[in-house]
Amino acid sequence: MTRTVPTRPTRPSAVVAPDPTIRWLAVFALAVGGFGIGTTEFVAMGLLPDIAASLDITEPTAGHVISAYALGVVVGAPLIAALTARVPRKTLLLGLMVVFTLGNLASIFAPTYGTLMAARFIAGLPHGAYFGIAALVAAHLMGPQNRAKAVAHVLTGLTVATVLGVPVASWLGQHFGWRSAFGLVVAVGLVTLTAIWFWLPTMNTMHVTSPLTELGALKRPQVLLALLVGMIGFGGMFAVYTYVSTTLTDVAGLSRDLIPLALMVFGVGMVIGNLVGGKMADKSVIGWLYTSLAALAVVLAAFVAAAHNPWTALVGLFCIGAVGSSIAPALQSRLMDVAQDAQSLAAALMHSAFNFANATGAWIGGVVIAAGYGYTAPAATGAVLAVAGIVVLTLSVLLQRRSR
């Protein structure tokens, strides 16, 4: 097959910023943006009771606010990554952060449930494209020999958000109203805009592709199957985490004042799981996908019983965060392997897949709770989703063997 684009976008043709200090400041600026995005993605999950009470809606209905953000990611990631393929990378990153900041600003002042849903959808649009482009820019800046390290540092912003940003924003939301949590995110967005403007080079030497080349990835069955693994298999983690606040207080008996600490425990699990998952995926992408999905099914099933005690609930929450986040490096590697020239779209689509899982997980969790099965039911349904992800992965492997 003849390629229309000669090189991958992650392969730098020249060193953009020869000064190491400039390169690290640029990567740090990108990571700050990841910190803000990670904070706004997860903080609403711990504030659902406050949002529901403020807008006079039920908590399962408030959970749809999380789904709105996730759907924004699902829609925005592929469209933005493909249609802006020729836009200068620095200009694109600044534009994405402007939309992100305005969406969160609108969330602060949203007067009704409907306007809040719209604001969260808008805030979610730049999410996947930002992470995808930021990872490729960081890899270009640091050079081929440090590409994986550069991408890891960008994603560190997201994982640190689960440990620091989300608990702090949750604390603010509990003491000063849930809108103040999004105020923190707006502040981070403004800091990111300033840092990218001053610290990120113009990236003129970075190779770009074309919309048709990027969209070509969607014609490949293995790309679609890899995305489906993430969409289905990862949903269980979000089914539990969406309603974690009420689960820990009403089922486990944990004090509401300790919810930020519980969110921090989950975040530490995510940081550790991401690091372990990266190392294991380097040894075997497919093997680790099987292992991590199976482990996620087990820990979710175990959480149904563990949720009835505060100590075991915290241990279970840590395990869900660790095992769930360990899937990400392997799935990202799988998408990069099967996407070929469409690297920008592949990098963005991983976040699209995970946020589709976020949306469906929150929705399914709300359905089983509203049906009267209780706040441990999302964990049980999540275990089923993880098993379904294994089924899709097996189909992908069998098709790949047949094509060979």
Residue 8 banded pLDDT, cuts 50, 70, 90: very low
Task: Pull the structure tokens for residue 332.
Answer: 């990202």
- The sign one gets for the Cα dihedral 313, 168, 353, 268 is negative
Distance CA(190)–CA(195), nearest Å, equals 9
In a domain, 356, yes or no: yes
Lowest mean per-residue pLDDT among 94-98, 103-107, 141-145? 141-145
Same domain, yes or no: 251 and 200: no
Same domain, yes or no: 220 and 201: no
The pTM is what?
A: 0.74
Residue 301 banded pLDDT, cuts 50, 70, 90: very high
* 15 has pLDDT over 80: no
More confident residue, 215 or 389: 389
Interval 69-80 mean pLDDT: 86
Q: How many CB atoms lie within 10 A of CB 107?
A: 27
The mean predicted confidence, pLDDT, of the chain is 84
Q: pLDDT tens digits for 33-53? A: 999 998 998 788 778 888 888
pLDDT score of 5: 43
Residues near 331 by beta carbon (within 8 Å), at least 6 away in sequence: 226, 229, 230, 289, 350, 353
87: left (phi over 0), alpha (psi -120 to 50) or beta: beta
Lowest mean per-residue pLDDT among 7-21, 34-48, 77-91, 337-351? 7-21
* 4 has pLDDT over 70: no
Interval 225-240 mean pLDDT: 88
Domain end, chosen from 208, 232, 252, is at: 208
Domain total of the chain: 2
Residue 122 banded pLDDT, cuts 50, 70, 90: very high
User: Which range of residues forms the domain containing residue 158?
Assistant: 16-208
Task: Pull the structure tokens for residue 370.
Answer: 């509203």
Interval 282-309 mean pLDDT: 92
Domain end, chosen from 208, 240, 267, is at: 208
In a domain, 2, yes or no: no
* 293 has pLDDT over 70: yes
Lowest mean per-residue pLDDT among 22-31, 68-77, 199-208? 199-208
Same domain, yes or no: 261 and 121: no
Q: What distance separates the 2 farthest-apart alpha carbons in the chain? A: 62
Distance CA(161)–CA(159), nearest Å, equals 5
In a domain, 5, yes or no: no
Q: How far is CA 176 from CA 41, 184, 313, 367, 396, in A?
A: 19, 12, 27, 30, 48
Distance CA(140)–CA(151), nearest Å, equals 10
pLDDT score of 213: 66
